[in-house]
Chain A
């Protein structure tokens, strides 16, 4: 009866693991057959295996500032829409770590796409306070701006008030040379303060008042050619804007004020990422919420700007932290090398296991194949449902996992051997060994899982991909050893070849069986030399359990 229970429980376990594999395989086959988006038999590869460009954008922040996750998600959505707008397919945009955005694009992006990705497209409308031609500053007289006052002498009446021009702003304006780099990439200005900047041709410099209308109040933006009053179209390109209710109201108020002022304070500057694109004089009070930006646009630049405005301005400024390009051939070579290394690794492990464990190596091979199948299904499934991409670091993780998986078999086999050395029969040893091995396997796998989870939560990029594979494989290892390796041994233990301790079974320990005959008695092999025999019997005495010793002492008394 007991034998049958063991055997049927073993078969049930094998059924479980077969069921799990069949379930995921079935899901994937169904996904592909019914044309689910993303479902495929072959897992998607990351850029380093298929070639492409990965761009890491990092927000430009002052020291101590941090990004709030909502802004980051918002920026991510905007960047995604912008890239989709360019027609690049299969681009991936994701948040990496606490603050970076990772953009992965197949192939090499052109300069326009790059510009579109990183431009913060912060459009602002500021009144002009004053402007002048750019002056080339040859010798920079080191002025310490922070020494100068930045507080207006009285509260300015409105955005066009000359009171905004404090000593510091004035000094900054005078020292500004548009031909030198004067803005950091992705710099974001305080909307409530005046701004000293240049126009986008770098010919004029401006002092502008605080922001009056924000780009986010734009409800739509289109590009087109400028039509003359007679309705004939010209070759000049322009961006047409429509404001939402707030924008319309603000725009109306400002144009009403500017309309009455003298030049240059009747000009309304439109800045994009801090540079003045155009600063037209107000010749009408615009209350219908429609405006047109003209300037030195080409068809292309007008379209790009209109798209950027339509898809929104990024809530934070970004700069490109790294841009990496991997050719498709290098990707293929890497994948081929990874697969080759995996195959070699698998073969040498099985050869070594055959050398060490003889017939048991067939169980190892079987277990590794089952593990590999489950890993493949898991990766294909996650690639479909979670957008997981297998990277080179991930492949390396999978190969390393061959060894780690085989390790738990060794832990188990050696435990079984330990039990055999205690004189147990194979069937008993397989069970007793399993109970002890499971403890060890659980605690050591817990170490691996802790490492994988910690690294996954706290790191980003390739480290994260590697941690993910490590964790996945550790879980599958646990599943395979419990639901495949152990039941296989249970079944094999009833097989004559293994149970008899055949030379090739891997459980042949006849070489020196310190035969354990019963409580507190040891038979010492006759072939042992005198001294050695003595030592062995002493050893046996030492190995008595407390209960056995006490029993013997009681008997001697």
Chain B
């Protein structure tokens, strides 16, 4: 079996090469399919499953309730407010969480006491809280403003560093793909959209671009004098750069995904629904999709955007004549 290192050497010299740029239609089709699925799946499932922070509602928590059955909560709440929808879940090792739509102050206090009575625990171990529907909306509004400002700033940063707005554009298209696909997977899994999930999405921004920038930096280096190349076309040179950074891309992604997977595993196994699990799921999917896009999408799109420039075209003609 060929070792990873051997493959690394071959990829660097160009002896072994994967055609990322040439077969771009396949990768585009694959990405388009993923995006369409990511948009359709949530629609079929009836939209995103928004958490209480977005819907607003009342919440009760019983602490130190390891041995207590979940079923007792519903009749207790219904004894106070009949026919209200009740969602009961276990959080952490020893908490029971009961969520309802927003109750009046008086109802909420009565429901709290009813729960304490039903579970035969001291009323002080049942905490009630409520979340106004604006809270999640506020977080989202800020997140979207943050997202837009970040995109503008980072496009300028990349355009200045790479001296090419086309690289910025290619990176942003890849980023958009990552966000849509991750949101789609998130909806398909059926997890609640919570502020923690929003944080996860925002981190994908940074990570997905980080990955793309590393690849593009090598592309930039390889194509500095591409107009004068008589042996390789622009597309081939970009492809070589992607191949040369392939081992690095795979390693950085694996290393980025491993701790996230640890959070996802520990979060789901030990804590159940909550901040850790929500952030980790978004990041887990986002990192993997981000790696795909920084290898299979961003570089081919960049080539697509530039290969028809007259200078590059004449250079490509020269290369063809040399063969």
Interface bits B103-133 vs A (CB < 8 Å: 1, else 0): 0000000000000000000001001111110
The segment from A205-213, A274-282, A462-470 found at the interface with B is: A462-470
The reply to whether B196 and A338 contact each other, CB–CB distance below 8 Å, is no
Assembled-state Cα–Cα distance A457/B271 (Å): 31
* Cβ of B195 to closest chain A Cβ, rounded Å: 6
With A108-B127, A329-B63, A349-B258 as given contacts, are A421 and B95 in contact (CB-CB < 8 Å)?
A: no
A-side interface mostly: helix
Chain B, interface residues (CB within 8 Å), range: 35 or more
Known: A97-B138, A337-B267. A322 touches B131 (CB 8 A): yes
Contacts of A132 in B (CB 8 A): none
A334 at the interface (CB under 8 A from B): yes
Q: Are B130 and A323 in contact (CB under 8 A)?
A: yes
B70: CB under 8 A from chain A? no
* Chain A CB within 8 A of B15 CB: yes
Cβ of B4 within 8 Å of any chain A Cβ, yes or no, is yes
Complex: chain B residue closest to A538, CB-CB: B231
Residue ID in chain A nearest B209 by CB atoms? A447
Q: Is the CB of A418 within 8 A of B12?
A: yes
CB of A406 closer than 8 Å to a CB of B: yes
Pair B15/A470 contact, Cβ less than 8 Å: no
What residues of A have a CB within 8 angstroms of the CB of B254 in the complex? Answer: 352
Q: A411, B252: Cβ atoms under 8 Å?
A: yes
Whole-angstrom distance between the Cβ of A107 and the nearest chain B Cβ? 10
Let me know if A461 and B213 touch, CB within 8 A. no
* A446 nearest CB neighbor, chain B only: B157
State which of B158, B232, B263 has its C-beta within 8 Å of the C-beta of A399: B263
Question: Contact at B266–A322, with CB atoms within 8 Å?
Answer: no
In the bound assembly, the distance between CA atoms of A56 and B130 in angstroms comes to: 11
Residue numbers in A under 8 Å from B206 (CB-CB)? 447-448, 451-452, 470
Using known A-B contacts A333-B270, A450-B153, determine if residue A393 contacts B196 with beta carbons closer than 8 Å. yes
Interface residues of A in 429-486 (CB under 8 A from B): 436, 439-440, 443-444, 446-448, 450-452, 454-455, 458-463, 466-467, 470
Q: Which residues of A contact B209 (CB under 8 A)?
A: 444, 447, 451
Contacts of A356 in B (CB 8 A): 4, 251
Contact check, A392 vs B95: say whether CB atoms are below 8 A apart: no
Known pairs A325-B127, A337-B270, A454-B150; A403 contacts B260 (CB<8 A): yes
Partner-contacting stretch, out of A75-83, A167-175, A188-196, A508-516: A508-516
**Chain A neighbourhood of B203, CB < 8 A:** 397, 400, 451, 466, 470
From the candidates B9, B64, B132, name the one contacting A514 in the complex (CB within 8 A): B9
Q: CB within 8 A of A459: which of B59, B142, B217, B262?
A: B142
Residues from 306 to 340 in A contacting B, C-beta threshold 8 Å: 319-330, 333-334, 336-338, 340
Give bound CA distance, A344 to B264, whole Å: 11
Contact residues in A for B77 (Cβ distance below 8 Å): none
Q: How far is the CA of A337 from the CA of B213 in the complex (A)?
A: 33
Nearest A residue to B221 by beta-carbon distance? A436
Interface-side segment among B33-41, B81-89, B274-282, B297-305: B274-282
CB contacts (< 8 Å) of A352 on chain B: these are 254-255, 258
For window 528-545 of chain A, which residues contact chain B by CB distance below 8 Å? 532, 535-536, 539, 541-543
B185-225 vs A, CB cutoff 8 Å, 1 = contact: the mask equals 00000000001101100110111011001100110010001
Complex CA distance for A535 and B142, rounded to whole angstroms = 55
Q: How far is the CB of B311 from chain A (nearest CB, A)?
A: 16
Partner of B279, one of A396, A406, A440, A539: A396
**Nearest chain B CB to A113's CB is how many angstroms away?**
14
CB of A273 to closest CB in B, whole Å = 16
CA distance A406 to B257 in the complex (A): 11
- Contact indicator B150/A450 (Cβ below 8 Å): yes
In the docked arrangement, what's the CA distance between A353 and B63, Å?
A: 41
Identify which of A58, A320, A326, A348 contacts B262 (C-beta below 8 A): A348
What is the distance, in angstroms, from A287's C-beta to the closest C-beta of chain B? Answer: 43
CA distance A542 to B14 in the complex (A): 10
A511 touches B9 (CB 8 A): yes
Would you list which residues of chain B between 8 and 67 have a CB under 8 Å from chain A? 8-10, 12-15, 53, 59, 61, 63-64
Provide the bound-state CA to CA distance between A392 and B265, in Å.
16
Ordered by A's residue number, 22 sampled pairs between the chains whose C-beta atoms are within 8 Å are: A48-B275, A58-B132, A322-B135, A330-B94, A333-B94, A337-B276, A340-B266, A341-B267, A342-B259, A344-B265, A348-B259, A393-B279, A403-B257, A403-B258, A414-B245, A443-B157, A448-B210, A460-B139, A463-B195, A463-B199, A512-B10, A514-B15
Beyond known contacts A451-B150, A451-B154, A454-B150: 18 more, CB 8 A cutoff:
A97-B138, A325-B128, A325-B129, A333-B270, A337-B271, A341-B259, A344-B265, A403-B259, A403-B260, A447-B154, A448-B210, A451-B203, A458-B146, A463-B139, A466-B279, A511-B9, A536-B13, A539-B13
Interface residues of A (CB under 8 A from B): 48, 53, 56, 58, 97, 100, 108, 319-330, 333-334, 336-338, 340-342, 344-346, 348-349, 352-353, 356, 392-393, 395-397, 399-400, 402-404, 406-407, 410-411, 414, 417-418, 421, 436, 439-440, 443-444, 446-448, 450-452, 454-455, 458-463, 466-467, 470, 508-509, 511-514, 532, 535-536, 539, 541-543, 546
**What 7 A-B pairs come out closest when comparing CB atoms?**
A345-B259, A403-B256, A451-B206, A325-B127, A327-B63, A341-B266, A345-B262
Where the two chains meet, the residues of B that have a C-beta atom closer than 8 Å to any C-beta of A are 3-6, 8-10, 12-15, 53, 59, 61, 63-64, 91-95, 124, 127-132, 134-135, 138-139, 142-143, 145-146, 149-150, 153-154, 157-158, 161, 195-196, 198-199, 202-203, 205-207, 209-210, 213-214, 217-218, 221, 225, 228, 231-232, 244-245, 247-248, 251-252, 254-263, 265-267, 270-271, 274-276, 279-280, 283
